[in-house]
Amino acid sequence: MSIDVSRLADHVLIDPDGNEHRFGDRWSEQRALVLFLRHFG
């Protein structure tokens, strides 16, 4: 399965302190590993 991460770049994330961060800025200058975890229960 292939995912086009460029579609995720403009999404805004909010950190625990309430600051907004553009998701694409995380990999704009270097490679990044993006991992999603889901907790059940």
Say what the pLDDT of residue 12 is.
92
Say what the pLDDT of residue 17 is.
96
Say what the pLDDT of residue 27 is.
80
Q: Does the pLDDT value for residue 11 go beyond 80?
A: yes
% of the chain surpassing 90 pLDDT: 22
Q: Does the pLDDT value for residue 18 go beyond 90?
A: yes
The model's pTM: 0.55
Say what the pLDDT of residue 19 is.
96
Query: Who contacts 41 (Cβ-Cβ below 8 Å, separation ≥6)?
Result: none
Radius of gyration of the chain (CA): 12
